[in-house]
Amino acid sequence: MSGGLLVAGTTSDAGKSVVTAGICRWLVRQGVKVAPFKAQNMSLNSFVTREGAEIGRAQAMQAQAARVEPTALMNPVLLKPGSDRSSQVVLMGRPVGEMTARGYHGGRQQQLLGTVLDCLAELRGTYDAVICEGAGSPAEINLRRTDIVNMGIARNARLPVLVVGDIDRGGVFASFFGTVALLSREDQEFVAGFLVNKFRGDVSLLEPGLDMLKDLTGRRTYGVLPFRHGLGIDEEDGLRVSLRGAVRESAVAGPVGEDVLRVAVCAVPLMSNFTDVDALAAEPGVVVRFVDRAAELADADLVVVPGTRGTVAALRWLRERGLAEAVLRRAREGRPVLGICGGFQILGEHIEDEVESRAGAVDGLGLLPVRVRFAREKTLTRPAGEALGEHVEGYEIHHGVAEVTGGEPFLDGCRVGAVWGTHWHGSLESDGFRRAFLREVAAAAGRRFVPAADTSFGALREEQLDRLGDLIEEHADTDALWRLIESGAPQGLPFIPPGAPA
């Protein structure tokens, strides 16, 4: 059996995904054959593997960090929220139904433990090391009985646990201590120590606290990672993340031409794969912001209606907020609009949905000659083709089946004037196509914007993953970390009362 590690966190968004990716990149640079793993993921940002399986985008990016092809084994259970109370359950890359949180934690989750452990065992039999990511906090005492992603899998697979805490939020020492102290004696045996994330300032001022933490818990700190702007991989939890007002902009250089290009993304409910616009934001001179008010579309050169897990609900939201009318007005004026996946469906003439919302017949915005019927079978593909004279690759994740009745062909969707629509996610990551598309947008918007000739989104991603690997290599005790991965948690770790409630 190969080595392994579970990266847990004191909270959601403590940095588990980033640390997991960083450890994977550090290990692969040492010649270690490594794979990522997350037993259960809740995310609206997903990816399609080459075998046609849907997994979380974070695991796909971690696989890239490990320089391996992502597979369903790396994320056997994916939950895609459809509301505050229910999610679509995706098992081994395929949807198996909708379930409420009570129903899932009431029994279904525990039934999946065997599948999860089988996937992990297969990965551990293939790779030198498997770096697992937990979810939320391992000290969710109300969910421990059915847990299959934190201590439930650590104990079953006998994995050492590294707890990550975000010191930028404050209270990291209390969070570290409290996380351990709320675990049972049996679970505490696997918690090897801590990793501080997002530290600003002089580490020597932190060291007395780390020494006291070791005295209190008997567990060491394996590193202090400094705060770095612009780090991270594809966001994971689309239900919790609020992008209102968030701005993404290239930090590489200023615009090549005389003008910048402003992109407004409608922050629709249950927005999915909003990482589609990261490739736009990587272009020098392109500013991307997420908006939820009609007035914020006024100065945009391009409006993007993104993917969503609730097409009909998103359409209703756009109408209620006046955004639908603002988009229609833009289209009448010949100003650019792009719809991706659910956004493409919204821009069409008619939607027939007895699957996702069960709303039946609904009129779309009517900007594209498209009629959409929702099928129970989900489309999961990795298409490739040509558009605007350039090669394009993407991936599709949708229940809606589009019948295109007119317009110019565009990535299996269509274009009418300055309005484009496609089911393809990730198409803007194709560098030549992205530049050609931006030239069209700039011309339609009357902007003297020129896309950079040498921006490579793939290369920028690799640089980012290398920066994550550098963080681990330079600021963690990598010798101790490797011993942990290879040999497991140290023996004789003390029990910290009170432990988990009976």
Among candidate residues 119, 341, 399, 414, the one labeled active-site is 341
> Residue 62: phi, psi to the nearest 5?
-65, -35
Q: Which two tokens stand for residue 103?
A: 């129903």
Catalytic residue among 398, 399, 425, 475: 425
Interatomic CA distance for residues 233 and 215, integer angstroms: 34
Rounded CA separation 345/366 (Å): 10
**DSSP-derived secondary structure for 137-177:** -TT-TTTGGG-SSSHHHHHHHT--EEEEEEGGGS-HHHHHH
Kindly state the tokens that stand for 226.
Answer: 């400094």
H/E run at residue 94:
strand 94-100
Q: Is 425 a catalytic residue?
A: yes
Instruction: Give the DSSP H or E segment for 77.
Output: strand 77-81
Q: Compute the C-alpha angle 359/363/365, nearest 5°.
A: 130
Known active-site residue 423: no
H-helix or E-strand spanning residue 413: strand 413-416
Give which of 282, 298, 283, 410 is closest to 344, Cα–Cα: 410
Beta-bridge mates of residue 87:
81, 99
The one-letter amino acid at 2:
S
Whole-angstrom CA distances from 199 to 67, 170, 448, 475 are 28, 10, 41, 11
Strand partners, 130: 4, 35
CA distances from 169 to 165, 166, 459 (A): 9, 6, 31
Residue in the block written with tokens 């922050």: 267
Exposed, middle or buried, 10 (CB in 10 Å: 0-12/13-18/19+)? buried
Assigned token pair, 400: 């809606």
8 Å CB contact between 163 and 37: no
Q: Which residues sit opposite 48 in a β-bridge?
A: 54
Neighbouring C-beta atoms of residue 285, cutoff 10 Å: 23
Residue 293: CB atoms within 10 A of its CB come to: 15
DSSP 85: S
SS3 430: coil
Residue 451 burial (C-beta neighbours within 10 Å; 0-12, 13-18, 19+) = buried
Give the catalytic positions in this structure: 341, 425
